Every structure is written in C-alpha cells, then in structure tokens.
Amino acid sequence: MPSEQSTWLISAPLNGDSEGLVQELTSKLRQQSKSFSPSSIAEFGIPSFKTGTLDSLIALSEDLPKQDTFFTNTVAKVVDTLRNLLNNDPSKLSQHILVNEGSIEEYLLGQWRWNEGRYGVQKGLRDMVDTLSKEMTSIDNNMRAKLTNYNLVKGSLVQMQRKKTGNLSVRSLVDVVSKEDFVQDSEYLETLLVAVPKNLIKNWNTKYERLASMVVPRSASSIASDDEYTLFSVVIFRRVHDEFIQQCRENKFINRDFVYSEEEINKQRQELDMADVTERELWTELLHLSRINFSESFQILVHLKVIRLFVESVLRYGLPANYIGIVIQPDSKLAKKTFSIVQSHLSYLGSNSHSKSKKSNGGDTEEYIGEYQTLMDQEFFDFVLYEVPWVTQ
C-alpha cells in the first residue's frame, strides 16, 4: 500500500486507447465516492526512451533508488528552509511551494510534460540520470552555502539582540547609561556599575561605602531597575578597583564591566544596524532562491521518477517500450479504497508481466533474465508505481 500522503505515478503497457483506461478508472473511483474529483486523476506522459541493454537497465534500476532518496531529501531540505524562513506559516508557505508559478497539483495533474529542451530523449538513460544528478547536486550545494552564510549572519544578529534583552545583570548597558552617569577624565577616580539583586538593595546601601578603603561617600546612584535587579553607579579611587570588585562578589553584588565611550557605543549601534540590514537582505535573497530552487528541484525529482517508471516498466512488461503513465492524487481518507480499486482494475498485469519480458527479449534471454529474477520479483504490485511525497505535510 503506497503512502496516503503522496501522489501516485503508475505505469501500465499501452494496449489500445490510453484515454479509455483513464476514463474507466475515473468512473470506478467516482462510484466509490461521489466526492472524488476527476481532476485527481490524469494521464501522465512517459516518453519512449532508448532502452539500451538489459544489463544496463538492471544496473540503472539498482542505482536509481539511491538517486531518488537524494533527490527527495534535497527537495525536503528546500521546503524546510522555506518553512523556517516563513516561521512555519502554512498560508505563506503555500505561496512559495510552487512549480513554474503554479501549484504542485497543477503541475502533476495538468502541466506535466517531459522537458525535451533540457533532457532530450535521444540521449541514453544513464546520461540523462547523470545530468539530473548534477543539476540536483548543484542546487543542494548552492542552498547549503547560502543557508550557512545566512545562519552565520542571523546568529550574529541574534547574539547582538540578546545582549539588549535579559535583566540588568547580563544585558548590554549601551542604551541604559548616559555620559552623566560617569566621572570623566579623572586621574584618580572612576565610576563602576553594579547590578544589585532587589532583595539585597538594603544590604548594598548599608555596605557599599565600606567594601573598599577608598569609596567616595554617598556616591552610589540608582540608574535603572527591572524585576530582578537595580543598577547602581558608584565612584571609587582607581587604586582600590580590584578590592572593591572582590568584595562585590563576596556580597553577591554583580559588577558590570563597562567603560563609557561614545565612540564604542556608536560602533556597537552601527554594528547592530548593519547586522539587521544584512540579515534582512540575506533573508530576502534566500527566500527568493529557495522559491526558485523548489520549483527546479521538484521538476528534477519528477523527471527522475519518470525514468524509474520507464526502466521498471521495461523490466516488468518488456518491449516494445510503449507505456501509459497515470497520475493519481488520492484523498488521504479514501486512499486505501482508491488503491484497492486501482489494484483490482490492473490486476490482469500480474499474470503476464514476466512472460512479456521474456517474449519481447527473445527466447534465448529467458535463462539470462533468470539471473535477475529475484530483483524483478521484488515488485509489490501488479503494476509499476512510484510515489511523489506531499512535501508540505
């Protein structure tokens, strides 16, 4: 049973009217449920590729699942990037999960065509897979580099912003203090800033003048307060700096190591503003790139699925390589019933798929095919089916 959270791509030998098969299936599915939409099933074109040798098809069949996994994971990573950029907002995400500026459903059920301009069917299957793989690897590398760069800038911005939050024992004091809070240009005196827990303020007022031998009396001044701390300035002689700091630690008063400098304050503000602007620019660039790369990577994935359909169809049904593809987007609630109807309608394929392969390749190849019988018998259904996962789920 394929996943209920995926679109199904099915292949069957083309024996006569292709539209008739789709219409028959549509009719049976409508009988199952009046809510079933005919737009949920459509013919899905499978080109007539060059088949090559049986040995090359077997080798390709063994390699394609690895490529499929890599392609699917790459598409999923692009979606995750979009999801994170858009704060996991489903409505915004749906505006960017588009293929050629249309929905995934429109692409698979209506717009799908093999891109002959980029992947000419006159090429060998292995060459086409290599081309698809190179394109997907390029997208993956490009996304990884851009995402790493963005995360570095965002991490730096978050770190800067974090300094502006929190209580007065940890937050940046750039926007808390002013020039008037400090003794300026004194050879002997300096101003220290101390964050005092609210429950120790009485203690501070009683003790601060005696924490060192040379503290300017009555020099403590409250600068700011929050729910946990009050920030005080206090004037001391430079020669008792270390002694005063040590006594603050012992009394659980938190010294804030801060030297007032207009130049340094302006520099920090400019760095924050620059980081904010850069992050916004990179966010916009990454969003645009992810939108484009989703469309590109999803199309590459579907092209690979079509090659898998073709390769497995040749191994299952044999030659001539003339197959019809059917795409079905099931209602997740009715997926089991839908699959049961499809399986029943195509059950006739189960009895003759291997015999067709033998006939199409000539009687002398029957023994040769036997070497790969285990591989061929791994199919779970009477028809070839691959899934395109619903990437937004």
Tens digit of pLDDT at every position of the chain (393 positions): 778 889 999 998 877 665 688 888 888 888 877 667 777 899 888 998 988 889 999 999 999 999 999 999 999 999 999 999 999 999 999 999 999 999 999 999 988 999 999 998 888 999 999 999 999 999 999 999 999 999 999 999 988 888 888 899 988 888 899 999 999 889 999 999 999 999 999 999 999 999 999 999 999 999 999 999 999 999 999 999 999 999 999 999 999 998 888 888 888 889 889 999 999 999 999 999 999 999 999 999 999 999 999 999 999 888 888 888 999 998 888 888 888 888 888 888 875 554 444 444 444 444 444 444 444 444 468 889 999 988 776
H or E segment and range at residue 195: strand 189-197
pLDDT of residue 268: 85
Is the domain of 152 the same as that of 289? yes
Is the domain of 57 the same as that of 132? yes
pLDDT of residue 368: 42
Q: In what order do the strands lie in the sheet with 6-13?
A: 41-44, 323-328, 6-13, 384-389
Is the domain of 300 the same as that of 209? no
189 by DSSP, 3-state: which? strand
Is the domain of 134 the same as that of 220? no
- Establish if 222 belongs to a structural domain: yes
Is the domain of 211 the same as that of 76? no
Is the domain of 110 the same as that of 79? yes
pTM summary value: 0.78
Is the domain of 93 the same as that of 134? yes
- Establish if 274 belongs to a structural domain: no
Is the domain of 134 the same as that of 222? no
Q: How many domains does the chain have?
A: 2
- Establish if 39 belongs to a structural domain: no
Q: In what order do the strands lie in the sheet with 229-237?
A: 221-225, 229-237, 189-197, 254-256
CATH number for the domain spanning 187: value is 3.30.70.100
- Establish if 272 belongs to a structural domain: no
- Establish if 241 belongs to a structural domain: yes
Cβ atoms < 10 Å from Cβ of 30 = 14
- Establish if 16 belongs to a structural domain: no
* Token output for 240: 């008792």
Is the domain of 150 the same as that of 296? yes
- Establish if 332 belongs to a structural domain: no
CATH number for the domain spanning 118: value is 1.20.1460.10
Is the domain of 216 the same as that of 255? yes
Is the domain of 152 the same as that of 283? yes
* Token output for 275: 């980081």
d(CA 380, CA 393): 25
pLDDT of residue 137: 98
Domain that holds residue 150: 46-156+279-326+347-389
* Token output for 105: 């459903």
Is the domain of 52 the same as that of 96? yes
* Phi–psi pair at 315, nearest 5 degrees: -70, -30
223 by DSSP, 3-state: which? strand
- Establish if 140 belongs to a structural domain: yes
- The CA-atom distances, in angstroms, between 90 and each of 282, 376, 389 are 22, 41, 17
Convert 243-277 to b/e letters by CB count within 10 Å (16 or more is b). Answer: ebbebbeeeebbbbebebeeeebeebeeebeebee
pLDDT of residue 255: 95
